[in-house]
Chains A and B, each alone.
Chain A
């Protein structure tokens, strides 16, 4: 190394002015930069494979660590969800490990409502004692856990709750994709599918934007489809950013997607443009649905959806021409994951419509992709937990809800009745994100025991009695994550950096120690390394091998087009008609159902809709400075209002307005735009943090959920997150 050479690190330090004296004069030409970089490549950099935690997609990446500190991260080309590129959240959210607002010690709320640091031993002892007394007095079925699934978290939280004897293991599904997955299951016996967008001739997206709620591989597929000439349609009250790779925007009235699909189905059925052989061979109940569809003319649908009848007829006809290389994409949260009282029925209609196209498992159609999972492990080392008696709380009241997700907020709601007495939260901000925050806070505060495990002080943590500090996702090894894809894979979140805060503990350790304190430690006598290695051994791999690669494929399981799947419905067929829906008080076939709340036609009211922005996930990324700085620089916390409506109300772009309904009132700036349906007011779903300890996110923007009443969708249990309206008034006018 020459005497003038500098390392990349000192170069960067120089660029920050810390070592300005070293970094003088001509050293900082590009040549020095390159030299510094080359030098670094041979230096003390280590790498590890991990999985992003900024959203549920969990993209694989290689983390570069210099002197123990996270440096750059690069998406792994072999990971089927990122295919080498991460999204903005992936780069930004990695800062969470070093956040100044991390939880660093176990906390207990004192009588005046303040949190005080306590030892792990005290936390475990008190929680364990309370758990055992609740079980003794009321039974284990009064305990529950809510978690947003992550590789280790989903395993340990379920095992912990089941070991205690409770079946009440919930995800965030009620406020995500519960209604969609549950509705799909009624028709096709599977809770999801994947549109083969890349190979399609036509794909329609309803309330889903690959460019705003990004899974990079899906975005890549959309771009390829567009370049190959596929006809891409976006049905959305907002012109979302996927329009870069789409051909048509259908600016539908919010909450009316079901009528739109029924109108298109009417066209296919009445004109005989559907795949009659496919329907005859694979389905039951078609005649019942066809009979109902007779009245669902495009003109009828136009009245409800605001979409011209000719457009509905044209798009239906285009679908018939493109079939079977065409589908309605399954969406996610979007329009019918959990938004309306008709979301589950909309989901049924989507699957019924795709069936008319005969597109299941066809190239360019809608696919059921394979996955691999670990086999049963040695019961001596990893003892089986007895299956808890009874069913998950909420299953009786919401019989169509997927038990794998569960109606978490219903369970929380029972806290006030004493039927649920103790709740744990892992990586879940239920209070701020799943339904009305004020109500959910009261529910959590009514519990006899409430414990949150997290990395930062969420609103849910604030409502709990105990808060346990987790390590960040970069500071621990987790269990292998099996991913379904055309060629399924298994992926690994390995430890990237050492603990930043010494008194934090990784999720596997916390649950194992909690179990011990609750008297069920015998089910947690193994380490996460041992379990990960055993799970991988069961599929012919090892932890060491996966650590090297990050992602390992199972090419022998690769998907093949054209195979008719096994329909896992009660009838073994695709069900246009469902007995279970009828039993739940819904029609046997998907029929038009109004949203529960209609928007008054008073000139001042708007339906409040939410939706993701590309730089945030739920409420968990808002406290990341690099991401929140984008929000602030570009005013991304503004509410979107249609330009004509704004003119009528005397509101100009950038004005401050008061957004109000009977639940909440707050100020925001307005983005006046032509990109939104006049009936809708769009409030991005990431803001309005009310936790002062999240210093970056606190008090920025409004929180959608503050305007949403506690309401659950009939039958399905979705949180009805868009069943609300607001009025908007210019401040100072």
Chain B
């Protein structure tokens, strides 16, 4: 069975926002509607200081709080394990926005509906469709997309090699793994 997931290597992330604007263009989002948000963490004292850029987006959790709180079933888990919003059913109650521990759901300021990362890179992954996704657009190759159930795919190999882990451990059974 296919179980799509992603690896984000923060050691390569320069915090340049290319993924955010590429995603907006690929998915036709509004200027203030971003599926990726960033945290920046500074450690140490001058001049022995380091900085980490942390891109966060929908983790496509197997135990997804946004799905369990959704009163209409708009938020649901699709056949490939991708957490999806059915916009015909979304009533804009924002329960999911409040429930998401990663704070990666956004309200569309024109419609009031909620949206988030759609794992759109599947088309690129499966049949090479040219896209400007967060995976393909990143100038430093921060992300790897793949099938977590396929031990031969680059994603699984890299997760094993780097001992990458979900950002908050096993709490929500997230399918996005981080190298930090």
Chain A interface mostly helix, strand, loop or mixed? helix
Q: Are A17 and B108 in contact (CB under 8 A)?
A: yes
Q: Are B50 and A243 in contact (CB under 8 A)?
A: yes
B174 interface residue (CB < 8 Å to A)? no
Q: Are A88 and B140 in contact (CB under 8 A)?
A: no
Pick from A91, A211, A625: contact of B32, CB under 8 Å:
A625
**Chain A residue with the shortest CB-CB distance to B118:** A33
Question: Which residues of B have CB within 8 Å of A212?
Answer: 14, 16
Q: Are A244 and B79 in contact (CB under 8 A)?
A: no
Within 8 A of A (CB), among B1-22: 11-18, 20-22
B78 interface residue (CB < 8 Å to A)? yes
Q: Are A29 and B84 in contact (CB under 8 A)?
A: yes
Q: Are A675 and B49 in contact (CB under 8 A)?
A: yes
**Distance in Å: Cβ of B63 to nearest Cβ of chain A:** 19
Question: Which residues of A have CB within 8 Å of B30?
Answer: 16
Interface string of A10-38 (1 = CB under 8 A from B): 00101111101101111011110110011
Within 8 A of A (CB), among B79-110: 79-80, 82, 84-89, 108, 110
**Chain A residue with the shortest CB-CB distance to B80:** A30
**Distance in Å: Cβ of B113 to nearest Cβ of chain A:** 5
Within 8 A of B (CB), among A502-529: none
Question: Which residues of B have CB within 8 Å of A72?
Answer: 25-26, 131-132
Q: A28-B86, A91-B132, A223-B140 are in contact. Are A643 and B25 (CB under 8 A)?
A: no
Interface string of B30-60 (1 = CB under 8 A from A): 1110100110101011110111010000000
Question: Which residues of B have CB within 8 Å of A74?
Answer: 130-132, 136
Pick from A211, A239, A626: contact of B24, CB under 8 Å:
A626
Q: Are B31 and A614 in contact (CB under 8 A)?
A: no
Q: A91-B24, A242-B14 are in contact. Are A37 and B88 (CB under 8 A)?
A: no
**Distance in Å: Cβ of A485 to nearest Cβ of chain B:** 17
Question: Which residues of A have CB within 8 Å of B141?
Answer: 223
Interface string of A627-666 (1 = CB under 8 A from B): 1111001100000001110000000000000000000000
B115 interface residue (CB < 8 Å to A)? yes
Cα(A4)–Cα(B38), bound, Å: 37
Chain B interface mostly helix, strand, loop or mixed? loop
Size category, A interface: 35 or more
Q: A21-B88, A29-B78, A30-B78 are in contact. Are A220 and B139 (CB under 8 A)?
A: yes
Q: A20-B88, A30-B122, A41-B129 are in contact. Are A88 and B46 (CB under 8 A)?
A: no
Q: Are A219 and B139 in contact (CB under 8 A)?
A: yes
Q: Are A615 and B49 in contact (CB under 8 A)?
A: no
B69 interface residue (CB < 8 Å to A)? no
Q: Are B129 and A91 in contact (CB under 8 A)?
A: no
A530 interface residue (CB < 8 Å to B)? no
A678 interface residue (CB < 8 Å to B)? yes
B28 interface residue (CB < 8 Å to A)? yes
Interface Cβ pair total, 8 Å cutoff? 193
Question: Which residues of A have CB within 8 Å of B11?
Answer: 244
Question: Which residues of B have CB within 8 Å of A28?
Answer: 84-88
Interface string of A63-103 (1 = CB under 8 A from B): 00000000111110000000001111111101100000000
Question: Which residues of A have CB within 8 Å of B130?
Answer: 62, 74
Question: Which residues of B have CB within 8 Å of A667?
Answer: none
Q: Are B46 and A17 in contact (CB under 8 A)?
A: no
**Distance in Å: Cβ of B178 to nearest Cβ of chain A:** 15
Cα(A590)–Cα(B19), bound, Å: 43
Q: Tell me which of B17, B28, B120 has the highest count of chain A C-beta atoms within 10 A of its own C-beta.
A: B17
Q: A249-B47, A614-B15 are in contact. Are A34 and B108 (CB under 8 A)?
A: no
B123 interface residue (CB < 8 Å to A)? yes
**Chain B residue with the shortest CB-CB distance to A632:** B32
Q: A241-B51, A673-B42 are in contact. Are A24 and B12 (CB under 8 A)?
A: no
Q: Are B87 and A92 in contact (CB under 8 A)?
A: no
Question: Which residues of B have CB within 8 Å of A674?
Answer: 42, 44-47, 49
Within 8 A of B (CB), among A422-479: none
Question: Which residues of A have CB within 8 Å of B32?
Answer: 625, 629
Pick from A630, A634, A675: contact of B42, CB under 8 Å:
A675
Cα(A628)–Cα(B51), bound, Å: 23
Question: Which residues of A have CB within 8 Å of B132?
Answer: 72-74, 86, 91
Pick from B15, B53, B139: contact of A87, CB under 8 Å:
B139
Q: Are A216 and B42 in contact (CB under 8 A)?
A: no
Q: Tell me which of B46, B118, B131 has the highest count of chain A C-beta atoms within 10 A of its own C-beta.
A: B46
Cα(A75)–Cα(B118), bound, Å: 22
Size category, B interface: 35 or more
Question: Which residues of A have CB within 8 Å of B49?
Answer: 239, 249, 674-675
Pick from B15, B18, B27: contact of A12, CB under 8 Å:
B27
A214 interface residue (CB < 8 Å to B)? yes
Question: Which residues of B have CB within 8 Å of A87?
Answer: 16, 18, 139
**Chain B residue with the shortest CB-CB distance to A250:** B47
Question: Which residues of A have CB within 8 Å of B140?
Answer: 219-220, 223, 244-245
Q: Tell me which of A21, A630, A676 has the highest count of chain B C-beta atoms within 10 A of its own C-beta.
A: A630
Interface string of A209-221 (1 = CB under 8 A from B): 0011010100110
Q: Are B87 and A241 in contact (CB under 8 A)?
A: no
Question: Which residues of B have CB within 8 Å of A25?
Answer: 86, 88-89
Cα(A345)–Cα(B88), bound, Å: 65
B164 interface residue (CB < 8 Å to A)? no
**Chain A residue with the shortest CB-CB distance to B10:** A244
Pick from A26, A75, A88: contact of B16, CB under 8 Å:
A88
A251 interface residue (CB < 8 Å to B)? yes
**Distance in Å: Cβ of A223 to nearest Cβ of chain B:** 5
Q: Are B82 and A251 in contact (CB under 8 A)?
A: no
Q: Are B42 and A244 in contact (CB under 8 A)?
A: no
Q: Are B18 and A86 in contact (CB under 8 A)?
A: yes
Q: A28-B86, A674-B49 are in contact. Are A16 and B108 (CB under 8 A)?
A: yes
Pick from A29, A244, A626, A673: contact of B14, CB under 8 Å:
A244
Question: Which residues of B have CB within 8 Å of A94?
Answer: 25
Pick from B51, B85, B86, B136: contact of A239, CB under 8 Å:
B51
**Chain A residue with the shortest CB-CB distance to B115:** A15
Question: Which residues of A have CB within 8 Å of B131?
Answer: 72, 74
Cα(A676)–Cα(B15), bound, Å: 18
B138 interface residue (CB < 8 Å to A)? yes
**Chain A residue with the shortest CB-CB distance to B119:** A30
Q: Are A85 and B137 in contact (CB under 8 A)?
A: yes
Cα(A239)–Cα(B119), bound, Å: 33
Question: Which residues of A have CB within 8 Å of B115?
Answer: 15
**Distance in Å: Cβ of B59 to nearest Cβ of chain A:** 16
Cα(A21)–Cα(B46), bound, Å: 57
Cα(A88)–Cα(B38), bound, Å: 14
Given contacts A87-B16, A211-B16, A244-B140, 5 further A-B contacts (CB under 8 A): A16-B108, A239-B49, A244-B14, A614-B17, A624-B31
4 cross-chain pairs, A with B, having the tightest CB-CB distances, nearest first: A17-B111, A24-B88, A625-B31, A91-B21
A-B CB contact pairs (8 Å), 5 listed: A25-B89, A30-B80, A239-B49, A251-B46, A615-B17
